[in-house]
A and B are shown apart, each in its own frame.
Chain A
């Protein structure tokens, strides 16, 4: 661990490490909510549609409960996302000052798309009671489109940082002659965007399905759980093979557009043909690799479909222009974990598809549901890994081959940044902890209520039987106090 810190420290001013850790921590936390912000509305609308179309009360109940979850999740997502906008200025003023007008427009698109999403989600979440059922559904329908548009803006900005285009440099190194279209539609945008979009739908689908897989394993084998599992799991299972192809294609785009990053994720030291593929393993400063499984020729074959493919190595550029061996190892592990989990999810999707084709029914094995219960967490892990691969693999550049992370960092003292880091960690742990506790409590409350209703118990004490408006104080107090 010490060597890791030393290496991070080696390439910049003292405030670089805390600035990096703060950005990594806040973005790494926010990214866990992103799949739900982008894809949960779509999955909920699918369930909603089913409920309206077939007059299915169970589907409508699920959609309503998912919106109640969405209400809390979206709020936490908004505030943790706003923090990131602040951090672009608080931590990386050098990048925004020089490049803001070159690549900032993507964020402009995102800001408006997000605005639209916030409006539509408010109408959707609060429209259940008084809007006409179909009106309510149609007003919610543009939500996934707004979410896709917002994701486009953010991914366009990140893709630009990886393959910056659309400007020339003047004598003092400042960007001139900005071409906005080129700056938005950079070479990495297409591969990154589709990989990201499908990835977040997968993650949201598997996580939501996982909740009902757990219920199923605990013996709650009713239509409510069947539906809650089948709809999101089917969406995710159908997209899993798609993601397999997209993931393969983005790796090859990185090979072509960012060869040094590719060398880091695959631990390629010297430029060569017939390059072996390493599964895991660790890169040392002298270029040797310890541990891991070596498969001869495979890296060349994967990169260019032939063992004769020449793969650029890390040593093709000076040590100061490439990831350190530790950073390369981190990117490599993140990449390999992502690919491993992706492959396992592929098997799970095939299992599901096979049973569906043969019997039009869910698999009977408990092992299937055990795996499905874990798939959500695993998928969130791949989201983190994909992000680590792309960000750590880009080091030491914040704007690939144009600006170093150390040139962009704020002048604020390292000690202030560490204090801020400490505060932010405490706040985020509390907020995310409280968020999970609230979700668990909601779900437990619903389950108990359902079981109570099934057993014929009276539900008279539930608030909300009275029409909307100020409730008599005594009732509210009774409910608030009596629920515990």
Chain B
């Protein structure tokens, strides 16, 4: 059925955002924990250079998630944005502070200013994914149904908090794995060990949170809990765990290229497992995919637009990531922007 196809597109877009956007948020997380201006200078330098060319692209996935939601499943969009008003509003403010902080820090030289912009960027890199994760967790508990009014209970329950923390931990994991690879790419040997240690630590935190999550969701989010602990959901979760362990091992042997793939794979598998665990619901257990689906003509067109877009956007996206990993993308330096003074001689009248 067409609405199932669109639901898969939505899940794929969420997974892509979790991976691409997650890596990005994770870099911000480590920026926050990098310490004072002097101690954190090297890691922050790496974070700046690794993120700069790709962070905008990474975050555009979110817009696509929203568009597929309101075009494909208008009721879902209305329900989520009504019931989860506050966390989503705070996430939106966080997105502004994060993007603006990052973009403005780069061309700024004065240390005090860099601190302010950097703090805005780093703090909101943690706050934003927490709220987004809390929204997803809240939806899984079944506290929200079409027509539910905004309430703190919907997103401040145990499952929401665990989901928010897990999201932050997952972004930290992805960020650390990618930054380890970037440290190798930029020949910063000291930072390889620095970020590898952080990748391992975040894996440990994720494991603890996952165990706590299992206990909390047992009666708080029964439907999703069952979906994740049996059948295909369980298989995917286990595969994700294997992927995460493989990442840890690959990092130990500094096979950073492969580690990136297994890390991305394990996060994507978790998102996939969550999506499958919710089947056939978009919001367990009140709104199914077919109940939420918009007009079928629109869904068919949305699929068509998606296919065209994959054809149009896919190749440039691959090109961008390849150019980036090949080191072909570099920011303009001060010298590039200043070197020439030709043309500045006053014109003869």
Binding site for B on A (CB under 8 A): 57-58, 60-61, 64-65, 67-68, 71-72, 74-76, 78-83, 85-90, 93-94, 96-102, 104-105, 107-112, 114-116, 118-123, 125-131, 175-180, 220-224, 226-227, 410-412, 416, 420, 423-424, 427-428, 431, 434-435, 438, 441-442, 445-446, 449-451, 453-454, 459, 462-465, 468-470, 473, 476-477, 479-481, 483-484
Contacts and interface: CB of A to CB of B under 8 A. Distances in A.
A75 B99 contact: yes
A392 B334 CA distance: 45
A57 B68 contact: no
B71 A86 contact: no
Interface of B: 41-42, 45-46, 52-54, 56-57, 59-60, 62-64, 66-68, 70-72, 74-75, 77-82, 85-86, 88-89, 91-93, 95-100, 102-104, 106-111, 117, 149-150, 186-188, 294-295, 297-299, 301-302, 305-306, 308-309, 312-313, 316-317, 319-320, 323-324, 327-347
A82 B59 contact: yes
B66 A126 contact: no
Nearest to A86: B92
Given A57-B343, A58-B342, A89 B56 contact: no
Contacts of A450: 338, 341, 344
* Highest count of chain B CB atoms <10 Å: which of A111, A123, A445: A111
Contact of A119 (B45, B62, B320, B338): B320
A90 B92 contact: yes
Closest 6 CB pairs of A and B: A101-B294, A464-B333, A89-B81, A97-B78, A104-B71, A100-B74
Given A438-B107, A441-B108, A468-B327, 11 more contacts: A57-B340, A61-B337, A96-B77, A108-B67, A129-B333, A222-B343, A410-B81, A411-B82, A463-B335, A470-B42, A483-B110
Contact of A434 (B66, B104, B319, B323): B104
Given A93-B81, A126-B329, A469-B187, A454 B341 contact: yes
A78 B332 CA distance: 21
Contacts of B46: 470
B100 A76 contact: yes
Contacts of B328: 127, 130-131
Contacts of B77: 89, 93, 96-97, 100
A216 to B, nearest CB: 11
Given A86-B88, A423-B93, A127 B74 contact: no
A4 B308 CA distance: 47
B41 A473 contact: yes
Contact of B104 (A72, A98, A420): A72
Contacts of A108: 67-68, 71, 302, 305-306
B10 to A, nearest CB: 12
29 contacts: A60-B340, A71-B331, A82-B92, A89-B66, A89-B80, A93-B82, A100-B70, A100-B71, A108-B67, A108-B68, A108-B306, A121-B56, A126-B324, A126-B331, A129-B333, A130-B327, A130-B328, A130-B329, A131-B323, A177-B295, A180-B298, A222-B347, A412-B85, A412-B150, A427-B97, A435-B104, A463-B334, A473-B41, A477-B41
A97 B99 CA distance: 29
B294 to A, nearest CB: 2
A129 B332 contact: yes
Nearest to B114: A480
A182 to B, nearest CB: 11
Contacts of B295: 101-102, 175-178
A420 B89 contact: yes
Most buried by A among B81, B150, B306: B81
A336 B308 CA distance: 42
Given A58-B343, A104-B298, A114-B63, A128 B81 contact: no
Given A104-B70, A108-B67, A131-B328, A470 B188 contact: yes
In this complex, the member of B97, B150, B338 whose beta carbon has the largest number of chain A beta carbons within 10 angstroms is B338
A480 B89 contact: no
Contacts of A58: 340, 342-343
A483 B109 contact: yes
B340 A82 contact: no
Contacts of B188: 470
B56 A221 contact: no
Given A97-B78, A129-B336, A115 B305 contact: no
Contact of B329 (A101, A127, A423): A127
A51 B336 CA distance: 15
Contacts of A110: 67
Given A105-B298, A111-B60, A454 B334 contact: no
Contacts of B299: 101
Contacts of A114: 60, 63
B330 A424 contact: no
Contact of B103 (A75, A449, A469): A75
B320 A116 contact: no
Contacts of B324: 126
Contacts of A86: 66, 81, 88-89, 91-92, 95
Contacts of B85: 90, 410, 412, 416
Contacts of B97: 427, 431
A176 to B, nearest CB: 7
Given A72-B103, A410-B82, A107 B338 contact: no
A122 B71 contact: no
Nearest to B331: A126
Contact of B341 (A102, A127, A453): A453
Given A126-B53, A412-B150, A82 B312 contact: no
A449 B338 contact: yes
Nearest to B54: A122
